[in-house]
A and B are shown apart, each in its own frame.
Chain A
Amino acid sequence: MSGKTSLSIDDKMATVKIKIDKDAHIIVKKERCQDCPTRPCLVICTAENYKWDEKRDELVFNYEGCLECGACRIICPRDAIEWSYPRGGFGVKYRFG
């Protein structure tokens, strides 16, 4: 095992080109998250877009850094995440898919 440190998710996301839409393509019904026991979206999201804000005690998310895998939508046990692809021409733009 080498001793090198791995890149943080922000460094990784910096390599991805995304054209940000002003309309969100993810809508979360946050009241459903309050009593969600597992909150799998926090770990499943490949871009770590979902965070739990301890202070305000609610889910915060950022649709702008979405890689459009849609895993959150499938994993959500409360059906709280309304996810669709961004509008045509917006969203992630892979250069080396």
Chain B
Amino acid sequence: MDKVTCIVVGAGPAGSACALALAQKGIETVLFERGRVPGEKNVSSFVLYTAELKRLIPDFRKDLPVERTVVRTDQVLLEQHDAKALKSYNYRWVDDPLAFTAFRRRFDAWFAKKAVDAGVQLMSGMKVTDLIKDGDRVVGVSVGGEELYADVVVGADGFHSIVGEKTGLVKSWKPERCLLAVKEVLDLPSHVINERFQLTDGIACEQGIYCYHINDLDVFSATLYTNMDSVSLAVFARLDELQKKNIQLHGELDRLKQHSYLDSLIKGATLREYQAHILADGGRVKPKSLYGNGVLLCGEAGGITATETGMGVPTCILSGMMAAETIEDAVKKQDFSRRSLKNYLKYLDSTALLDMVHKSRKESDYYASAARSEGPREMEAAADIYNQYWEKDVTYLSKSSFSIMVEFYLRIGQYRVPGLLRWPLTALVKLSRFPVRLVEAIKKRLRKRYYEWKNQPVNR
């Protein structure tokens, strides 16, 4: 009977991060991946923010397979016959790059390779088909008939999580909680990209496009970003809406491409690859279902992805790291029960992730309903909030210093309150924000110090 300390299922960002962190702590880890090579099953329409990655691999810049460095983000509001764009530049990132465009096929393979270099045993081309259980405790996995036992199993196997399903932690999907996405990678020569997007070599821009009443769908979002010599265009829509209106999403993508705004940017581009993916929209799993007896969920499997801000990969990486911390504690105590693994929540709470899981459902509902009823103005507000993420240090490493609901109130909500009530209420809200901000700022500084201190021997 083969037994290891930890099995990680899925070599995506969350799985590789978890395995790598465990290997760095000297814990024996086996990483399973169903693709021949890590990354070949994965699709993202994403910009790779690297604050979290840097914690794990300090010298990641040496060989990270990136396309371009992002210094500009555009928020575009698209209606049938007009378009509005808000461009924000972050020139700090020219010298000290933080965000990149990249292909998941290359990035995931690179990341898994880092884990292998650190001592993780990677088993690719192996699909975990079932879990081995002792009572309600997970004690191992079976891979097409063969069995491997472990003290703890980490489910990082994405949206259709086998670990989540077999343990019963993930119950059912509702169409209204799922976003379907299709993406096209379009070939466009580098100099044409530079000219049309007003970029220079090696510099990328990312566009969040909010589409309002341009198609049969009331509201949907799209992203467009530039790679080295291609652009990636993706559209997202909720499954229930597609079902209700009987709409094919790839048809929507085609129609969007014919919009004058996009036509001016991607005219003449040829299709390099067509992709489809599904993602959870807003809090798929309750926090208490993120851990079980001998099992942890991280990344998309646990719904820890930031769909709203498009920062799914960093949040997945961070959740993987937090799972590794939890397992380190459990190994020290030699206790892998549900109670011991509950520490996972504590670790998640030391970052902004748990807040995100709590809030994301509300936020996603808010976006969906408000955008429909209020139209472009709400979209503008959403774009504005996105920009705040962009302008501040973009990271989920620490809890955000402002509550997003308060921010929503100050930006939008207050205008719905009758005039007489508005002033005292707004003053109250602003006042209430102050101590929280102060405490958060102090905490953030302390945490930063702590991590600097903790990471010292690793860096050397």
Contacts and interface: CB of A to CB of B under 8 A. Distances in A.
Interface in A13-54: 13, 15-16, 19, 38, 40, 43-44, 46-48
A6 B182 contact: no
Contacts of B278: 69-71, 74
B246 to A, nearest CB: 5
B127 A87 contact: yes
B26 to A, nearest CB: 28
Contacts, number: 135
B243 A75 contact: yes
A93 to B, nearest CB: 5
B155 interface: no
A92 interface: yes
B160 A85 contact: yes
A95 interface: yes
The majority secondary structure among interface residues of chain A is: loop
Contacts of B160: 70, 73, 83-85
B173 A74 contact: yes
A49 to B, nearest CB: 11
Contact of B243 (A1, A9, A44, A89): A44
A69 B185 CA distance: 17
Nearest to A2: B263
Q: Determine which residue in A46, A71, A74, A94 has the highest number of CB atoms from chain B within 10 A of its CB, and name it.
A: A94
Nearest to A68: B41
Interface string B38-52: 011111100000000
A92 to B, nearest CB: 7
B110 interface: no
A70 B161 CA distance: 11
B243 A94 contact: no
B86 to A, nearest CB: 24
B195 interface: no
A68 B173 CA distance: 16
Given A15-B271, A70-B278, A97 B40 contact: yes
B248 A95 contact: no
Contact of B42 (A75, A85, A97): A97
Contacts of B243: 38, 40, 43-44, 75
Interface string B113-141: 00000000000111100000000000000
Interface stretch (B249-257, B361-369, B428-436, B437-445): B249-257
Nearest to B182: A46
B185 A96 contact: yes
| Interface magnitude class on chain A | 35 or more
A69 B41 contact: no
A12 interface: yes
Given A6-B257, A96-B230, A97-B275, A74 B239 contact: yes
A75 B127 contact: no
Contacts of A87: 127, 144
A12 B250 contact: yes
Contacts of B108: 97
Given A1-B263, A40-B243, A74-B239, A16 B274 contact: yes
Contact of A88 (B127, B184, B242, B248): B127
A74 B178 contact: yes
A84 B34 CA distance: 12
A7 B96 CA distance: 40
A15 B103 CA distance: 16
A67 interface: yes
B214 to A, nearest CB: 11
A44 B180 contact: yes
Interface of B: 34-36, 39-44, 103-105, 108, 124-127, 143-144, 159-160, 162, 173, 175, 178, 180, 182, 184-185, 230, 239, 242-243, 246-250, 254, 257-260, 263, 267, 271-278
8 contacts: A12-B271, A15-B271, A44-B243, A67-B276, A85-B127, A92-B41, A94-B40, A96-B105
